[in-house]
Amino acid sequence: MFTIGDFARLGRVSVRMLRHYDAIGLLCPARVDGGTGYRYYEAAQLARLNRVIALKDLGFTLQQVQSILDEKVDAAQLHGMLRLRRAQLEAGVQADLARLAGVEARLSMIEKEGLMSTNDVVVKRVPPVRVAELRAVAASFESPAITPVIRPLYQQLCQRLDAAGVTPVGPGIAYYEEVPDGVLVHAAMPVPAGAPVPDVTVVDLPATEAATVIHRGSMAGIGAGWQELATWVDANGRRGSGQSREVYLECPEDETRWVTELQESLLPPA
Amino acid sequence: MFTIGDFARLGRVSVRMLRHYDAIGLLCPARVDGGTGYRYYEAAQLARLNRVIALKDLGFTLQQVQSILDEKVDAAQLHGMLRLRRAQLEAGVQADLARLAGVEARLSMIEKEGLMSTNDVVVKRVPPVRVAELRAVAASFESPAITPVIRPLYQQLCQRLDAAGVTPVGPGIAYYEEVPDGVLVHAAMPVPAGAPVPDVTVVDLPATEAATVIHRGSMAGIGAGWQELATWVDANGRRGSGQSREVYLECPEDETRWVTELQESLLPPA
DNA sequence: TTGCTCCTCACGTCACGTGAGGTGGC
DNA sequence: TTGCTCCTCACGTCACGTGAGGTGGC
């Protein structure tokens, strides 16, 4: 018979842990003194304690450990739990490696540039969205070429939606495709399902995982935002799928106060 | 200006998170209606939200994120935090890989043997301990060869300690060394510091990390315990340093009720 | 009027760590 | 008598999720 302190030393656990395991019925003392409440353990109980610790070390919760030890799970179920745990651990390792890549990227950035300049790139799941859109071709991807094309497209689009009594359900979204003689510009607004509008095309943009960044200021400076995104994607060991969007979150008169979200779709991590 | 719901959608976070960030002062709404308490956010605040999420994704706590964003840390400190984080992540990945090896080992064991037989091997740090010991040579490592050697050693040792008025401070510890003509058996008892005993050697056993298992029953069956340890060490991708100990936790008259802990010291993981 | 969104508490999560305040045996 | 160990509450941790119960604008 050992007191709780001796038993804790032998098992290399804290006294508090033993009290906790007693409280939840995971490992109860062999004997409890009725008068003083003192707990007494037997050496043979170290075997059970070791089982608890071994399963805990594999990353199971105490509840799961309890089910396993109390034989509430058979071999097949235990097999399933272990496979699940394996999958979780593998995912956890991948997530940590991605974080590690992010930390490395920032470290090298600090060493090169002093502080963080590109500190707001975030990977997000972008939900699918139904949009109404108009298209036109611009000469190049540069802002001076895009702006005179996209402005009238949005004016047209909003007029037609308005005329059809359709209210957009979110901010405008622009996206681009390379074509032989330039860039195909898509000017789109999200619309509710089942609202047909004459003279505009309705398209379902697919859900995607994207690296995103917020650009504040006029469209003349949007190239810097795209640069930042590309740098981040590269530094974090990801690859873009080549699809990208601009979401116009706020477009007041004063264009220097515009707020735009840039999204670059990502391929699944290697 | 966006309501909390719209802002949450744009930032792909939950409304509850935004309320939480407001509560801890990490990201407060641009405006709060005095009458209704409604929170209103500006699109430009998405930049700050993204910074929060980006740093959180690296694994920083919200407290750390707050310090970083409020510029309470300079570039050098941030550099230090990132290096620390990198070390933590690397350690976390190693720990997860070790768990993964453990899960794999159990899976393959279940597939081969039905259920778990060796489910109580645990890795522990063994603290250093000062012991008084006597030695003798046995012919081999087999229990029949060891027992007749170690028994009288312990009788002698306990007599001498008793005669010197020294009380052991823990259970007996035996350990073994291979020598040219057999096995050198060390029979040891932990003693308090600064208690000289005539005719016994005092040795400081070093701290070590060891794989341990509890053996219940007589010494005749101890070989199975050592086998189990060796199998586990191999299956989990670790390597023993060649040093091992037996700790006699409970030794009543009836030897079938003995409880012994076997410890095999491990080399640091690769 | 019915939905929808917003609000403020406040409990629950997970496995203990850490006092607070008090008692029993050497 | 002084230490040492034991005991039972009970709060704190971390970042929210999840109701409960109620209000304001279309």
- pLDDT tens by residue, B205-232: 999 999 999 999 999 999 999 999 998 9
Judged by a CB distance cut-off of 8 A, whether residue A223 touches chain B is no
Chain A partners within 8 Å of B47 (Cβ) = 120, 214, 216
Amino acid identity at B155: Q
Examine the pLDDT at A119 and tell me if it is beyond 70: no
The DSSP line for chain B is -EEHHHHHHHHT--HHHHHHHHHTTSS--SEE-TTT--EEE-TTHHHHHHHHHHHHHTT--HHHHHHHHTT-S-HHHHHHHHHHHHHHHHHHHHHHHHHHHHHHHHHHHHHHHSS-SSTT-EEEEEPPEEEEEEEEEES-SSHHHHHHHHHHHHHHHHHHHHHTTPPPSS-EEEEEEEETTEEEEEEEEE--TT---TTSEEEEEPPEEEEEEEEES-GGGHHHHHHHHHHHHHHTT--EEEEEEEEEEE--SSGGG-EEEEEEEEPPP-
- pLDDT tens by residue, A99-109: 999 999 888 88
Nearest chain B CA: its distance from A237 CA (Å): 15
Q: List A residues 1-30 in contact with B (Cβ-Cβ < 8 A).
A: 10, 12
Q: How many residues does chain A have?
A: 270
Nearest by CB to A216, from B44, B125, B249: name it.
B44
Averaged pLDDT, B22-35: 94
- pLDDT tens by residue, B149-191: 999 999 999 999 988 888 888 999 999 998 998 999 999 999 9
- pLDDT tens by residue, B78-112: 888 999 999 999 999 999 999 999 999 888 888 87
Contact criterion met (CB below 8 Å) for A153 and A160: no
Contact flag, residue A17 CB and nucleic strand C, below 7 A: yes
State residue A194's pLDDT score: 73
Examine the pLDDT at B118 and tell me if it is beyond 60: no
Angle between helix B62-69 and B45-57 (nearest 10)? 130
Mutate to test the interface with B, among A51, A110, A120, A263 (most CBs of B within 10 A): A120
Examine the pLDDT at A21 and tell me if it is beyond 80: yes
| Closest nucleotide to A19 by C1' from CA | C16
Percent of chain A whose predicted confidence (pLDDT) is above 90: 71
Contact flag, residue A36 CB and nucleic strand D, below 7 A: yes
State residue B21's pLDDT score: 96
- pLDDT tens by residue, A201-252: 999 999 999 999 999 999 999 999 999 999 899 988 899 998 999 999 999 9
pLDDT tier at B6, thresholds 50, 70, 90: very high
Examine the pLDDT at A118 and tell me if it is beyond 80: no
Examine the pLDDT at B194 and tell me if it is beyond 90: no
Positive/negative CA dihedral, B41, B47, B51, B54: positive
CB pairs under 8 A between A and B: 151
Nearest chain B CA: its distance from A108 CA (Å): 10
- The single residue listed with the structure tokens 């037996």 is B246
Mutate to test the interface with A, among B72, B81, B94, B99 (most CBs of A within 10 A): B99
Mean pLDDT value across chain A:
91
Contact flag, residue B17 CB and nucleic strand D, below 7 A: yes
